[in-house]
Structure 1
Amino acid sequence: MKLKLISVAALLSLSMGIAAHAAEGELVIGTEGAYPPFSMADANGNVTGFDADVGNAVCEKLALKCRFVVQAFDGLIPALNAKRFDVIISGMSITEERGKQIDFSRSYGEFPNNFIAKKGTELADAKDIETLKADLSGLRVGVQGGTTHAAYVEKNMPDVQLMTYDTLDQMQIDLASGRLDSSFADASAQSDFLAKPDGAEFQMVDVVIDSSSDATLGTGLGIGIRKDETELKEKINEALCELGREGTLKTSSEKWFKMDISQTCD
């Protein structure tokens, strides 16, 4: 990793694993920037959202400055391994499949997932997972490509017409225009769509799908780290535990989601 000597005092303030990641005192973070309220990038590349808060808070704990790099979600892991940035913070679920390519920090949050359906349809009234699967059969279901949502539908609902999108915005445009019958995403993203004029004719299906439903959905949100960066992982885990104990993750979670999705150390 790039490193320019700052000063002896500055280097001593960074423990051994972290110094190798301090490019002029920066920790470079890859994020999607188009998945509200996790991460949103404006025209100038400024990133806000829950994951931006998490990244900035971790950087503060590590005495580093954050720099965010916006990257399409399905390209985040290849870009991390190509050393385009140091870590991924982008609402990424910790899964066994992703764990074959990269390592993860401890979980810093977990969110339930839901399908959306047009009001008045049989799908909208589904109350259990088996009814939900039956009602979705043959329908056009939108997901964001490269996500656990896509993997879950592919594995568990082979009879749907699965449509993948690069961004949430693209998926929601097709849902509102009638080119999709339903979409599957985390409850926060779905609620964000329902609050817009385009979402007025839709509702959340009551069936909540979380990590206990299927291992495909992962075990919470984690910070992606290259497999050879064990010391950085340790320091990030320490920072996340401190942020959890201090209530920083809870405060940011409630700010962006109106609920506490944070996970803390035991």
Structure 2
Amino acid sequence: MRKAILALCSSVMVFASAAQASALELRIGTEGAYPPWSMVNPAGEVTGFDADTGALLCAKLEAKCKFVVQDFAGLIPALQANRVDIIISALSITDDRRKKIEFSIPYAELTSYFVAPKDSDLMNVTDLETLRSALTGKRVGVQQGTARGAYVQATMPGVDLKTYESLDQMQIDLEAGRLDAGFSDVSAADDFLGRPAGANFALVNVKILSSSHPTLGEGVGVGMRHEDTELKAKIDAALCELIKDGSLAKASEKWFEANILASCK
């Protein structure tokens, strides 16, 4: 009897150890300096919409996760070098990035705007063709490695494009008058305009939709390595559930006061 009990306990311990060993662990690469998508608070915790997305995704996957903060331009190289397992950082799904990494289904949509001083002649522009002409020769700031930089290069060759490692650096130069305009997604632009630094600035009245040009991608997705096909299937299924059950919608309303989610069929 004692031998049977010992054998049973041993089997339970082996099973528990195997289950523990098989638990999914993910290092999530994120920028941490792109409000309201991804920020780091004074306590060193990652917050924002992408942080909430990561937390919801990991709970759905029953995975143990930790965020790894990295400059945006270094996120894909970090993924390729196995320093992170996935990227959740307002990462637009583009053809160029697909050559380097795999993407989940889109979980959010992006709309972009130019931001300029309120007394700029750009404030009188209301259509894209006029905007292209008005920006010729002007200094426009974008964050390095973003789809918006690729968009300006592809569609506005007359622009004097300036790139920055972080959104904060670009906005500092914009406030100081070293730029004529900045280009970012609308949530980041609204965050800047809502702070004292953005008091003398406004959105240029031309909405740039992701669908307007291939460089802007197909929405925002989770980045991962091409070979991680099983992980992709799990993440796609989990994201779809989170979109359908309203969990991600609540996070979107919390950070953007709007539903920016992509649809899931």
Equivalent in the alignment of 2:261: 262
RMSD over equivalenced CA pairs, Å: 1.7
The one-letter code sitting in structure 2 at the alignment partner of 1:115 is F
Larger displacement relative to structure 2 (110-119 or 96-105): 110-119
State how 1:36-55 maps to structure 2 within 5 Å.
36-55=35-54
What displacement does 1:65 show?
2.0
* Most deviating of 207-216 and 226-235: 207-216
Residues 97-116 of structure 1 deviation map (CA, whole Å, 9 limit, x = unaligned): 00000000000001210001
Report if aligned partners of 1:80, 1:86 keep a CA contact under 8 Å in 2. yes
Structure 1 counterpart of 2:85, which letter?
D
1:235 matched to 2:234: yes
Partner of 1:8: 15
Whole-Å Cα distance in 1 between the matches of residues 119 and 82 of structure 2?
49
Offset at residue 7 of structure 1 (A): 6.3
Corresponding residue of 1:212: 211
Following TM superposition, by how much is the alpha carbon of 1:8 offset from its aligned partner in structure 2, in angstroms?
A: 3.1
- The SS at the match of 2:27 is strand
Q: How does 1:1-266 map to 2 (within 5 A)?
A: 8-9=15-16, 19=22, 22=23, 25-266=24-265
User: What is the TM-score when the length of structure 1 is the normalising length?
Assistant: 0.91
Deviation for aligned residue 1:10: 7.5
Check whether the contact 1:45–1:70 (CA below 8 A) recurs between aligned residues.
Answer: no
Moved more, 34-43 or 211-220: 34-43
CA distance in 2, matches of 1:161, 1:34: 24
Pairwise CA distance, 1:43 = 4.8
Q: Equivalent residue for 1:3? A: none
2:74 corresponds to which letter in structure 1?
A: G
Larger Rg: 2
Of Structure 1 and Structure 2, the greater helix share is in 2
Q: Aligned with 1:222: secondary structure?
A: coil
- Please state how far the C-alpha of 1:264 moved relative to its aligned partner: 3.0
> Given residue 51 of structure 1, which amino acid in structure 2 is its aligned partner?
D
For 1:31, give the aligned amino acid.
T
- Conserved 8 A contact 1:13-1:63: no
Structure 2, gaps ≥5 residues long: 1-12
Where do 4+ consecutive residues of structure 1 move more than 6 Å?
none
Runs of 5+ consecutive residues of structure 1 not aligned to the other structure: 1-5
- How many aligned positions are there? 253
**Offset at 1:31?**
0.3
